[in-house]
Chains A and B, each alone.
Chain A
Amino acid sequence: MPDGPLIVQSDKTLLLEVDHEQAAACRRAIAPFAELERAPEHVHTYRLTPLGLWNARAAGHDAEQVVDTLLEYSRYPVPHALLVDVAETMSRYGRLQLVAHPVHGLVLHALDPAVLAEVLRSKRTSGLLGERIDATDVVVHPSQRGHLKQVLVKLGWPAEDLAGYVDGEAHAISLAQDGWTMRPYQEQAVDSFFHGGSGVVVLPCGAGKTIVGAGAMARSSTTTLILVTNTVSARQWRDELIRRTSLTEDEIGEYSGARKEIRPVTIATYQVLTLKRKGMYPHLELLDARDWGLVVYDEVHLLPAPVFRMTADLQARRRLGLTATLVREDGREDEVFSLIGPKRFDAPWKDIEAQGYVAPAECVEVRLTLPDTARMTYATAEPEERYRLAATAPGKNRVVESLVARHRGEPTLVIGQYLDQLHELAEHLGADLITGETPVRERQRLFDAFRTGEISTLVVSKVANFSIDLPEAAVAIQVSGSFGSRQEEAQRLGRIMRPKADGRTAHFYTVVARDTVDQDFAAHRQRFLAEQGYAYTIVDAEDLEQGSTGQRV
């Protein structure tokens, strides 16, 4: 098509022109096999990766479809080598299958004996495979199912896991849809996951991943193990499950540092699972404590390495991964693919925002010029001290104050990294402070007060980064963060993305000190946020205080 919306680059990126009339159709067509890399205002960049193409194969798409889609929407002739490569890559998925053999149990079955021969020759598969039955079948030790899949992805011959799952211990769970219903995309996500068996659902923060988890549990109606990042998040899950499902408090156990309850539905933290004593993981037995029918992984992109190893042993159980992004900063996407499963559902942020399920957000970076004395101190500081100096520049208090004043009455979160700075800020603003030292009970009290509107400003440390639910935060002001991590940005942004009752735009401010490393980290942040398609503006603190750009912000 000479006027198509898509441009295929030779480095396997796809450029989608957003304003094109066929952009929406094209987006739908390429979404199954291409990963959205960045989505700024005019041109979205997708990338073709082997994992993405295999995800597409797992979802039932074939190479011909992919090639046709590219040819159909591409504005210019598509590089031939790329088409050949797509077909070649996709043809590698599923040539090997893991199947349940009536006599031999778990078997690796090859549709192409040559592939099996190649895999058997590899050193990496030694010890994972048992006796060879015939030219196309090899016995697999059931305990090595996960490891084998990992190895096969690494070898470039990802296996299709058709061996099925154990049913697990039945436990009746149903959704209590009283006064609320699952959103259409949530239902689709549950359907896609269950149809596929195991896999990952990608939804933006604030899009209701917990509901998808609850929906999957209801569909499975078995005992369920839920793995979450921390205790606060665990309690959030428990509250949400009690609210949304037929489960009662007695049926839900918490397995954390504080409590060790094992109930039909057990919520455990990654921390407690990965706790290591004398070279042993004492809490691993949890995984075998019951005959789990479903394992839910919250925040898959944060899954710590030891959990991958444990998950490798859980291959006979259904696994649901929930995440906002498949991008892992440690690059272990392939392990997520092989151990938890292929991507089963994906909805871009912008789409969900457009449907009104998450609030639109505007990002503003406020650059503060340091006074000369501070600049001199900074210039002569030791390199390792510099970030702290820049991040905790005293002028930031004033900027935060004026930002809080501007959004007076709106629920506002002030997020920072350094406790001294946060104490000072809390004092300065006359606001309550939550840090890692704040007892859970106190935290819950403050969060509740914030939720009800009793208090409008909260100063929080990085405990707020993950999985705590502050529904009505409309403004987030970030004064310092860990060093430009994309995940942190996404999570912090997620704090304010819940849809507001009055449809207001959320505001995300970052206060940085000009001409310091602070600003360099801000560049990463800017890139990430703008790539996610958020309007991004940079203003000078001086302008802000004079109010001259007030209208623009």
Chain B
Amino acid sequence: MATFLDDLRARDDDALAALLRARPDLASPSPVTLASLAVRATGRTSTDRALAELDATTLQVLEAVVVLDGAGTPPIRARLHDALGADDDVARAAVDAAVGAALERALVLEGPGGEDAGGGAPGVDRVLRAAPGLADALGPYPAGLAPATVPDPPGTAPGDDDPAGAVAALLGQAPTGAAALLDALVWGPPVGVAPAPRTPAAAAVAALLRAGLLAPGTGSHVVLPRGVALALRGGRTHAAPALPPAPGAPAPGLTDAGVATESAAGAERAVRLVEALLRLWERTPPRVLRGGGLGVRDLRRTAAALDVAEDEVAVLVEVAGAAGLVADDGEELPAFLPTASSDTWAAGDLPQRWSALVRAWVGTVRAPWLVGTRDEHGSPRAALDPTVQRTWAPRLRREVLVALAALPPAVVAPPEGVLAALRHRAPRSVPPEPAVRAVLAEAALLGVLGAGALGAPGRALLAEVVRTGPVTSGDEDPVAAALAAALPEPVDVLLLQADLTGVVPGRPADELADLLEAVSVVESRGGALTVRFTAGSVREGLDAGRTADDVLAALARHVPGGRVPQPLEYLVRDVARQHGRLRAGTADGYLRSDDPAVLAGLVEDPRLASLGLFRLAPTVLGARATAGELLAALRAAGRAPVAEGPDGQVVHAGPATRRARGRGPRASVPPPPAPPARVEALVARLRAADEHERALEAAGATAGTGPQAGVPTGDGGPDRPGDAVARVVERAAGAVRGTSPRAGRDGKGDVSGGASGAAGAGGTADPASALLVLRQAAADRTAVRVELVGPDGRLQERVLRPLRVDAGRLRAVDPARAAELTIAVHRIAGVRPVDPPDAP
């Protein structure tokens, strides 16, 4: 008999590739040899994974093969048809397809042909055997039959001549009622509890046990042996083949076009709601909870503002999050804000925006249906909370879409139907029902479904999801294109009416939609858009910078006949008349006087420019200075101002004086003097370090800079860098020693710098002393050799002439490139003097 490995070896390349594609876990990590592939493929983990992906029909086939093969009668396909009860062409085709799938996945192997009749299709007469490990993976009771280890009574094994006859003969001797007992166990599970003793049933069970038709199980259980069960089933393993559930009838009145339109309407609504969400959060960003989620009050507020239900708003928020449109801003008091990429998104057209949303939706692990449910600690889960996710969510969404796509167009699948389809598609990994319902609701909300059926845009999305090939970098987004095709033609006509309403009899064109968005409120949506103009809505338009003429002209452009109804025109003009009648500004103080000439003089007075006086009215000046500052400055300028209170009464007050808020007297505790011994120890350590440094330095100087080093010559220009560095080091050392009064005052930083640094050879790698060297070089306008950490982490060395060192940055000139550059100080690894020019 061929082994599994032989079977693999016998496969051609295509078949092997198909195996690896169908069971991707076999391919990663890549197996080294076919033998290792075989080991992995027959392992329990991989087999379990493969089974999880299989549909109900294929699982039945596997069970049948395991049972029949286990009984020593490996079946050919025709026998499988009988075993599964596939008695029509549809069922037989389904079974054959399932056999194909099982063979492809190497869960079932084809044995050698019996007597090859030669006439039929390839493989028809070849026996099918279970792959090693399959029986274990299918569990102890495949097809509801007892394990093969339970002994069959004589003559009843499937391989025997007439097992049914043998069972019948045995049953004939059993007491009445025994047959009924067996019937209860025939279609599984094969294990029953033995009845209480001294009952008629107990007697029947005893008789059956004696006859071998039942076998004793563990404890008080009895088991129906496999052979007996098969014989009672008439040789079948299953009552009927599991076929995919039949799709429902098309909904009355629903057409493919209707589905597309509703899908488009849903898409438009979803995009509009997400836009509204972004605008809302931009103005009033909700706080991020400590756990990272969105508070339930903020969720409710958002739902109310968007006028949608809370579960819907949870989906919108999560999708916006998944699409990267909103995010935690990471501030100290974090809030959710629209992201920078949301601006890019908002700039796209409707199909593009929708495509971005649904692509994010279909691929996200976020699980919005969990929002509001309670976690294991009993606290409610928040939207955008990091824990609200399920790794299987993308797969579930894909599977739901696949199940919907399998239906004929315009057929609405209720959640139960989708669940049944999923159950058939993968009985060993059925998603939880609430999740399936939630995914359907999400799809409906986003317009992936129209009227409950998968429309063309939704199918395009699915095609993108299941596409196995590489992403073509085409310019056209097929999802967006499908939606664009489903959207009704935009309409550029606005019908305005005397009751201050307007109707766009269709989907408004972008420009018209923007205009109406700016100056009106929407009353109803659907096939058409109806809006109402109110004083408030017109005012908002004016607030946004439009003028009455702009608004009227823009409206007239879209109106057939070009005339805006008189009441609307009157409304716009009336609002414009009042618009801006009140004006607000900022001032810290004011001056008023009955004499405009005095005030005019003050505004013009250059000595008072610092007060920021500006004219509000002939008798009133605003100021950028407070009342107190005004009084002081004016008095200084020789004027005689008085202060006034909010009621206009003169307030006689002395000059405003400020006081710190005292906390009463406190005992002042002077820092305790350091014990003298410690100071001495410290000095000794510093001295020792310094000696060490100087020794190194001296060695370096002797070797490097020659006898002239340290002797000031001329102005110390860049041609003598050695001098400069030498002086730097000297000063640094001086600071440590406290010989320079300045360094002594500056104290600590210099001390530690000098102490721990290794300013050997006139250079230093210590940050503090490096700064010192750089500052000195800047002061001396000399060049130094600077070691920089490059962006790749490698050191590079450049000769630079420092200009200034401050705020953590070095500004320097690169003499070689004649360029000025700024370097963050933390990237400077070391500073060394420029090598002295070769001795002349």
Contact = CB atoms under 8 A, between A and B. Distances in A.
A complexed with B: yes
B495 A8 contact: no
Interface stretch (B249-257, B354-362, B627-635, B706-714): B249-257
Interface string B523-540: 011111010000100000
22 contacts: A7-B505, A7-B526, A9-B528, A9-B530, A11-B525, A15-B503, A41-B498, A42-B496, A42-B503, A43-B495, A43-B503, A45-B530, A74-B527, A80-B253, A80-B262, A83-B253, A526-B567, A530-B499, A536-B499, A536-B567, A538-B566, A538-B567
Contacts of A17: 495, 505
Contact of A76 (B261, B497, B578): B261
A409 interface: no
B258 interface: yes
A201 B721 CA distance: 110
Contacts of A41: 497-498, 565
Contacts, number: 103
Contact of B258 (A75, A77, A531): A77
A250 to B, nearest CB: 50
B527 A7 contact: yes
A42 B498 CA distance: 9
A343 to B, nearest CB: 24
Contacts of A75: 505-506, 527
A88 B592 CA distance: 73
B265 interface: yes
B819 to A, nearest CB: 65
A9 B578 contact: no
Given A11-B526, A538-B566, A79 B262 contact: yes
Given A76-B506, A78-B258, A530-B499, 17 more contacts: A7-B505, A7-B527, A8-B527, A10-B524, A10-B526, A13-B524, A40-B497, A43-B497, A43-B503, A79-B526, A80-B262, A80-B452, A523-B535, A526-B500, A535-B498, A537-B566, A538-B570
Interface in B497-552: 497-501, 503, 505-506, 524-528, 530, 535
Nearest to A43: B503
Contacts of B500: 526-527, 530
A303 B526 CA distance: 36
B526 A9 contact: yes
B99 to A, nearest CB: 41
A45 B530 CA distance: 10
A37 B581 CA distance: 37
A76 B495 contact: no
Interface in A509-553: 515, 523, 526-527, 530-531, 535-538
Chain B, interface size category, equals: 20 to 34
Nearest to B253: A83
Contact of B261 (A77, A527, A536): A77
A530 B498 contact: yes
Given A75-B505, A77-B255, A79-B451, A8 B526 contact: yes
Nearest to A363: B498
Contact of B499 (A13, A67, A83, A526): A526
B192 interface: no
Chain A, interface size category, equals: 35 or more
A119 interface: no
A81 interface: yes
B151 interface: no
A8 to B, nearest CB: 6
Contacts of A536: 498-499, 566-567
B498 A76 contact: no
Contact of B505 (A15, A83, A538): A15
B499 A77 contact: no
A42, A67, A535: most-surrounded residue (chain B CB, <10 A): A42
A470 interface: no
Given A13-B524, A527-B499, A81 B505 contact: no
Contacts of B503: 15, 42-43
Nearest to B451: A80
A280 to B, nearest CB: 46
Nearest to B260: A77
Interface in A41-79: 41-43, 45, 67, 71, 74-79
B254, B497, B503: most-surrounded residue (chain A CB, <10 A): B497
A260 to B, nearest CB: 46
A38 interface: yes
Interface in A65-113: 67, 71, 74-81, 83
Contact of B528 (A7, A79, A526): A7
A80 B258 contact: yes
A77 B257 contact: yes
Nearest to A81: B451
A537 B451 contact: no
Contacts of A83: 253
Rank and list the top 3 A-B pairs by shortest CB-CB distance, nearest first.
Answer: A530-B499, A9-B526, A76-B527
Contacts of B505: 7, 15, 17, 43, 75
B499 A40 contact: yes
A13 B528 CA distance: 10
Nearest to A71: B253
Contacts of A45: 530
A80 B527 contact: no
Nearest to B501: A40
A41 B526 CA distance: 21
Given A8-B526, A9-B524, A537-B566, A77 B495 contact: no
B488 interface: yes
A286 B565 CA distance: 53
A9 B530 CA distance: 9
A536 B500 CA distance: 10
B552 to A, nearest CB: 15
B527 A40 contact: no
B495, B498, B525: most-surrounded residue (chain A CB, <10 A): B498
Interface string B663-678: 0000000000000000
B746 to A, nearest CB: 69
Contacts of A537: 566-567
Contacts of A530: 497-500, 567
Nearest to B410: A80
B497 A10 contact: no
B499, B505, B578: most-surrounded residue (chain A CB, <10 A): B499
Contacts of B527: 7-9, 15, 74-76
A444 B261 CA distance: 63
B254 A80 contact: yes
Contacts of B567: 526, 530, 536-538
B488 A76 contact: yes
Contacts of A11: 524-526
Contacts of A8: 526-527
Contacts of A10: 265, 524-526
A9 B524 CA distance: 7
B497 A9 contact: no
Interface string A154-197: 00000000000000000000000000000000000000000000
Contacts of B501: 38, 40, 43
Nearest to B559: A42
B578 A515 contact: yes
Contacts of B255: 77
Contacts of A538: 566-567, 570
Contacts of A15: 503, 505, 527-528, 530
A527 B534 CA distance: 11
B448 to A, nearest CB: 16
B253, B261, B495, B506: most-surrounded residue (chain A CB, <10 A): B253
B318 to A, nearest CB: 24
Nearest to B269: A10
A39 B86 CA distance: 65
A300 B386 CA distance: 60
A67 B488 CA distance: 22
Contacts of A67: 253
A537 B262 CA distance: 40
Interface in B391-413: none
Interface string A405-437: 000000000000000000000000000000000
